[in-house]
Amino acid sequence: MAARVGVLFNGSLVDLVRARPDAADFLSVIPERFWQDLGRDRGERFVPLPDEVALLDELASHHRLVAHGVGLSIASGSTFDIDHVKQLAKWHRRYRFGWISEHLSAVRVQTEVTADHHAGLALPLPWDHDLLEMLCERVGRVQDMLGTRLLLENGVVHTPVPDCDMSEEDFVNALVRRTGCGLLLDLHNLHVNAVNLGIGPDLYIDRLDLDAVGEMHVAGGNRLFGAYLDSHAGACPAEVWRLLRRTAPRCRNLAGVTFEFHESYFPGLGEAGVLKELDRMRAALARPEAPSCRSPNSSALLPT
Ligand SMILES: [Fe+2]
């Protein structure tokens, strides 16, 4: 079955999804937006937000929902928040998400002198055996608690870590092989890494176990002080569409492609702009790039 197209839900989309429930095949929702976390030291830690939960109930009655978590920070060495996983599992039992994804990242930090806090951006990860062992154990526990496979999303590389034991691609493939987890392949994140650091997206993709890819993200970005940011700033750049056309047909288990934009950019995008991106996603999936007759690992020879 062809992959479905969806959009990462935010408040600016309420009118559109009510008026055009058929516009997207699914909505990706961020579970953490529907509760307030009062902190680990509180007995009743997770408090549902009534208005947001009512909206989620409404969305669930008309749309297929998938969950895209942002708060787990599964790669943080200093903290692993089992209660957060339990909360996610509770909501999965309630809404039966089509699938659940999180980020392969560390954004939370706890030290001897500071409580668990958000670092403000994803921290650089060392692709080494210690991290792999830690993540295999954690991903297994998370999947057991959720009762479903977890998709993990590749992140933006802000600062490469030197002298890693392996490449990011080899690390991810090993994690997939050992845990049975899936991948959420964010094509814009790859584009960001290419623009800022010259990391070629084609070779990265060619080295991945593409059978593990269950979802893809497409998005746009913008520049700030010379850096290109994964800011979800509106329409997707041409390079993201090229990557989608080239990669999607090779992912046999791809269930959905999701357009991400931040609601602060909705005024520039508008409903027409969101619908246009969804149409472009469908067109890219319907008209993939012709397969190359060259070796799949010879991405440098593929058309750009
Ligand atoms: Fe993403």
- Please report how many Cα atoms fall inside a 13 Å half-sphere around the Cα of residue 21, on the Cβ side: 9
What's the CA-to-centroid distance between 241 and ligand 1, angstroms?
15
What's the CA-to-centroid distance between 224 and ligand 1, angstroms?
19
What is the structure's pLDDT at 190?
98
Q: b/e map of 92-105 (b: 16 or more CB within 10 Å)? A: beebebbbbbbbbb
What is the structure's pLDDT at 42?
82
CA nearest 69: which of 169, 183, 151? 151
What's the CA-to-centroid distance between 233 and ligand 1, angstroms?
12
Render pLDDT for 92-104 as a digit per residue (tens, 0 to 9).
999 999 999 999 9
What is the structure's pLDDT at 41?
79
CA distances from residue 229 to 48, 190, 235 in whole angstroms, order as listed: 32, 11, 14
Phi, psi of 272 (to 5 degrees): -60, -35
CB-CB neighbours of 116 under 10 Å? 15
DSSP 3: P
Strand partners of residue 109: 117
Q: What angle do CA 120, 243, 204 make, to 5 degrees?
A: 65
What is the structure's pLDDT at 303?
33
State both tokens at 202.
């084609």
Strands 222-224 and 227-229: antiparallel
Cα Rg, the chain, nearest whole Å: 19
What is the structure's pLDDT at 299?
38
pLDDT tens for the 304 residues of the chain, in order? 678 999 999 999 999 999 999 999 999 999 999 999 998 878 789 999 999 999 999 999 999 999 999 999 999 998 899 999 999 999 999 999 999 999 999 998 888 888 888 888 889 999 999 999 999 999 999 999 999 999 999 999 988 899 999 999 999 999 999 999 999 999 999 999 999 999 999 999 999 999 999 999 999 999 999 999 999 999 999 999 999 999 999 999 999 999 999 999 999 999 999 999 999 999 999 987 766 544 444 333 333 3
Q: Where are the beta strands (DSSP E) in 141-239?
A: 150-153, 182-186, 213-219, 222-224, 227-229
Contacts of 136 (CB under 8 A, 6+ apart): 175, 178, 179
Quick check: 33 and 65 in contact, CB under 8 A? Answer: no
What's the CA-to-centroid distance between 88 and ligand 1, angstroms?
19
What's the CA-to-centroid distance between 293 and ligand 1, angstroms?
30
- Please report how many Cα atoms fall inside a 13 Å half-sphere around the Cα of residue 197, on the Cβ side: 15
What's the CA-to-centroid distance between 44 and ligand 1, angstroms?
31
CA nearest 47: which of 37, 55, 57, 32? 37
pTM of the model: 0.93
What is the structure's pLDDT at 60?
97
Domains of the chain: 4-288 (3.20.20.150)
271: left (phi over 0), alpha (psi -120 to 50) or beta: alpha
What is the structure's pLDDT at 118?
84
What's the CA-to-centroid distance between 14 and ligand 1, angstroms?
21
